[in-house]
Structure 1
Amino acid sequence: MIAMLYTKKSPDEFYTYGYKRMEILAALTNALFLLFLSFSLAVEALHAFVQDESEHKHYLIVSAVTNLLVNLLGVWFFRSYARIRITYRKAEDMNYHSIFLHVLADSIRSAGLILASWLLTLGVKNAETLCLGLVAIAVFLVVMPLFKATAGILLQMTPGTMSSSILNKCLRQIKSLEGVLEPRSRFWEMVPGFVVGSITVQVKAGTNEQKLLKHIHSVYNDIGIKDLTVQIDPQP
């Protein structure tokens, strides 16, 4: 909720791109929490395996069922994000999806506890270990796509929505221009759907820089990159 409030703030002299990445940071934090939950469940499953499981046959079924029903209501509320992999079009998509996954993971955990309790009443050996292990794996699998997506943006990786072949083609077009010696570029997503980039171009002395700038912006505008910083370094 705090991240959502921050994103409403306008860009200022310190954060010239605004605060949209707060929602991505919130989503990453949620993903890290769920990965930690997965790890702790795996440790709990191992602990149940190495000790006498008979001490763990009594579950708070009423609490688990109530928790599951409440979480299923939350899953329904965020049903528009009820997919493991979705295409993020804006920062808030990541935040809402992380909330959905958080509720889903809690639902899976409650369902695992209920299943383990039922299997134990049937006399199934190592039921707790089995169910906790399956829940740990399930939580890990559902949260990893979100973790990779949020971490990729915050680490400023090349956008997955933009193939390297397209970027290389643009770079070759610039390199083929008269007077261009060596172009170097990097591109990343500020938030989902908003790609920014910078390009440094070494040129021969006497090259028409204004004409070159116009051509470079035109090349990258054609593939949807509107925010581009171009630095031209004339060689003596």
Structure 2
Amino acid sequence: MLQLFLLFMSFSLAVEALHAFIQDESEHKHYLIVSAVTNLLVNLIGVWFFRNYARINLVYRKAEDMNYHSVCLHVLADSIRSAGLILASWLLTLGVKNAEVLCLGLVSATVFFLVMPLFRTTGGILLQMAPPRIPSSALSKCWRQVSSREDVSEVSQARFWELVPGHVIGSISLQVKEGVDDRPILQYVHDLYHELGIQDLTVQIDYT
């Protein structure tokens, strides 16, 4: 995924900065500067096309939002890397010592800062963590409301997670009294959690 590539890019830039500091390498080739300027101009065009997804903390309402945000951050990170190379070259002409180390470190930290919100969101989806958009207090309230019904003996194994950005699913297990019509219970539970934004809910009913 692009966010993993960007994290790798951030760490590789940090290693490159450390290597430049140890080796005291401060000479830039002119063709690298020309390439950096060209790359920066092209990437700025890409950033303009994806400008609606240029925010660091973006609310993902659908899966496409995360994909476009990943592409935008990739183009933005590459632009920052090119800008850092240009800045380092300019500082070297002014006689600033360790300009390359300073700029590479700054670029590495900036790219890391840009990609971390996306990385955390992606990790939460892959690990099937509780959806951050739904407060835990709201889920607890629903739990209490379902448990308080006279025809429900026990509520257990309630799990909720985002399958894709903007699409929350869940499962819950209920124990109801023998002989009770479960259709009103199912309708009540589905309506209750649907109001929280849980689109798909699996309800398992056991009779006691």
- For Structure 1 versus Structure 2, the TM-score category normalised by the shorter chain is over 0.9
CA distance in 2, matches of 1:224, 1:104: 32
For the pair 1:123 / 2:86, whether they are aligned, the reply is no
State the TM-score, normalized to the length of structure 2: 0.94
Pairing 1:43-122 to 2, within 5 Å after superposition: 43-54=15-26, 56-59=27-30, 60-122=32-94
Q: How much does 1:161 deviate?
A: 0.9
**Structure 1: gaps of 5 or more residues:** 1-28
Does structure 1 conserve the Cα–Cα contact (< 8 Å) formed by 2:24 and 2:98? no
- Where 1:53 maps in the other structure, the secondary structure is coil
- Where 1:88 maps in the other structure, the secondary structure is coil
Query: How many residues in Structure 1 have an aligned counterpart in Structure 2?
Result: 206
CA distance in 2, matches of 1:181, 1:97: 45
Does structure 2 conserve the Cα–Cα contact (< 8 Å) formed by 1:38 and 1:136? yes
CA distance in 2, matches of 1:110, 1:87: 28
For the pair 1:206 / 2:179, whether they are aligned, the reply is yes
Equivalent of residue 132 in structure 2, options 141, 157, 160? 160
Does structure 2 conserve the Cα–Cα contact (< 8 Å) formed by 1:58 and 1:117? no
CA distance in 2, matches of 1:83, 1:219: 33
CA distance in 1, matches of 2:38, 2:192: 57
- Where 1:217 maps in the other structure, the secondary structure is helix
CA distance in 2, matches of 1:176, 1:163: 20
Taking every aligned residue pair, what percent have the same amino acid on both sides? 69
State the TM-score, normalized to the length of structure 1: 0.83
For the pair 1:234 / 2:202, whether they are aligned, the reply is no
Report what 1:222 is aligned to. Answer: 195
Does structure 1 conserve the Cα–Cα contact (< 8 Å) formed by 2:170 and 2:201? yes
Equivalent of residue 169 in structure 2, options 183, 188, 196? 196
Does structure 2 conserve the Cα–Cα contact (< 8 Å) formed by 1:183 and 1:199? yes
- The verdict on how the C-alpha distance between 1:129 and 1:199 changes in structure 2, with shifts beyond 3 A counting, is same
